[in-house]
């Protein structure tokens, strides 16, 4: 995406407006606070982390997307770590609610939509993706993820959003 680094993937199949993507592995820093069920403090915590709120007090470049993972009892929010960092070299977060992990290589079913990611639009697109996964006979291997590529002040018709789920896809 233009100005910001994002995880590498290749589209291996397109079916209507749904893509099967093969992602390379990448590192993430995740905000997970059981007391903050909707991750309302997630973005500010992650922004603090990249703005020297880490043990090395190192400024870290912004990347896209910001990823929400929908768990049973709460939502977490993750920041993609720039690829210049080796897994062992990622600055350690100062906050107890932030942790570093790896999003392993794999296949994801993804649906992209433009505009403001309202609750209604997220729910509708997730339902469409769930129907697709079920209809194609894929097994879901993860929770659903919402991926947001643009800041809130971006014009709505430009905003890019994805809903994704890891699946058991086998390349032909």
- pLDDT tens track of the chain, all 172 residues? 458 999 999 999 999 999 999 999 999 999 999 999 999 999 999 999 999 999 999 999 999 999 999 999 999 999 999 999 998 999 999 999 999 999 999 999 999 999 999 999 999 999 999 999 999 999 999 999 999 999 888 999 999 999 999 999 988 7
Query: Whose CA is closest to 65, among 108, 16, 120, 128?
Result: 108
Q: Where are the alpha helices (DSSP H) in the chain?
A: 42-50, 119-136
Domain ranges within the chain, ordered by starting residue: 9-24+104-167, 26-103
Could you tell me which CATH number the domain at 26-103 has?
3.20.80.10
Please report the pLDDT score of residue 2 as a whole number. 55
Asked whether 80 and 73 are in contact (CB, 8 A), the reply is no
Say how far apart CA 165 and CA 77 lie, in whole Å.
15
């Amino acid at each position: 995406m233009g100005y910001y680094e994002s995880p590498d993937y290749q589209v291996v199949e397109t079916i209507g407006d749904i893509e099967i993507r093969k992602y390379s592995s990448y590192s993430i820093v995740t905000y997970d606070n059981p007391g903050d069920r909707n991750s309302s403090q997630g973005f500010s915590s992650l922004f603090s982390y990249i703005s020297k709120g880490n043990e090395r007090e190192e400024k870290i470049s912004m990347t896209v997307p910001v990823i929400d993972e929908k768990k049973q009892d709460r939502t977490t929010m993750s920041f993609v770590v720039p690829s210049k960092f080796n897994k062992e070299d990622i600055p350690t977060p100062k906050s107890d609610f932030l942790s570093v992990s790896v999003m392993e290589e794999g296949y994801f079913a993804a649906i992209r939509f433009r505009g403001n990611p309202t609750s209604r639009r997220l729910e509708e697109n997730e339902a469409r993706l769930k129907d697709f996964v079920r209809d194609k006979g894929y097994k879901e291997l993860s929770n659903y993820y919402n991926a947001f590529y643009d800041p809130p002040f971006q014009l709505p018709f430009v905003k890019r959003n994805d809903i994704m789920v890891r699946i058991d896809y086998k390349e032909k």
